[in-house]
Structure 1
């Protein structure tokens, strides 16, 4: 007894029996990964260049250096852009892995919900840190403040 299977020619057009309507989220996720990857390369290498190559290099990296950068709106937006792009890029990559390897619909839903929660929490906390950072908070004891803060 022989079994025969017919396979369509490799170049035959693919047709769906039912037309799916709505946004193609997989396509937009794929595009996002490529665009965010290129932007992240630029942002990360710019970040490394400024922190490690300009001025005294790695010897200048200390609390005062970071406080000075986070006091500048340009660097705040640079860092927040890096944070958002990296977290969403990583979350989307993890979502893809879950879709590929999670075997049941329930486990996929739980894992994707956990990824979404982690990404949202980290984005909110990271953004708050960048925009609300104050190296010299008012009312702090002088012995706990960095040396560059003026005692009030």
Structure 2
């Protein structure tokens, strides 16, 4: 009697289990662990962000262009917001990738959806990073009537 008996290409239910070999390695395991770790770190980053923006100082009434300009003039807050952006985008993209893998039945559909997802991820991360690091509330040679009150008139 053979180790695995097949009937029409389907293995017999009583045949020994043969582990399938995959070329993906432990990618899905690492993805699962990343989701848990990034979720915890995102909680810290988001609640820290909310606490500073809503509880410290005058609260939500103080949030305006000058508040953001003053906050992003500090490298600490630039890195904080950058980490929050990148982690949120990686976390969300990984979650949507998992949903696409679970529910898209055809390979072509799955490929198109993932390509659109990765394109959206790239655009948001690149533009968000550029905004955080190139934001200047007081651009040189700007008309004085267009500058916010935090800029010194020179």
Q: Same fold (TM over 0.5)?
A: yes
TM-score normalised by structure 2 residue count: 0.86
Which residue in the other structure is 2:81 paired with? 79
Q: Which residue among 15, 19, 27 is the counterpart of 1:16?
A: 19
The aligned length equals: 143
1:133 to partner: Cα distance: 0.4
1:21 to partner: Cα distance: 4.8
Q: Which residue among 23, 43, 46 is the counterpart of 1:44?
A: 46
1:6 to partner: Cα distance: 3.9
1:57 to partner: Cα distance: 1.0
Which residue in the other structure is 1:62 paired with? 64
Long gaps (5+) in structure 1 = none
Deviations 1:12-42 (A, max 9, x none): 9x6415x435642111111111010000000
TM-score normalised by structure 1 residue count: 0.87
2:66/2:149 contact within 8 Å kept: no
Distance 1:97 1:45, change over 3 A: same
Which residue in the other structure is 1:143 paired with? 145
Distance 2:46 2:121 in 1: 19
Long gaps (5+) in structure 2 = 1-11
Deviations 1:49-91 (A, max 9, x none): 0111111111211111111100000000000000000011101
Distance 2:139 2:77 in 1: 20
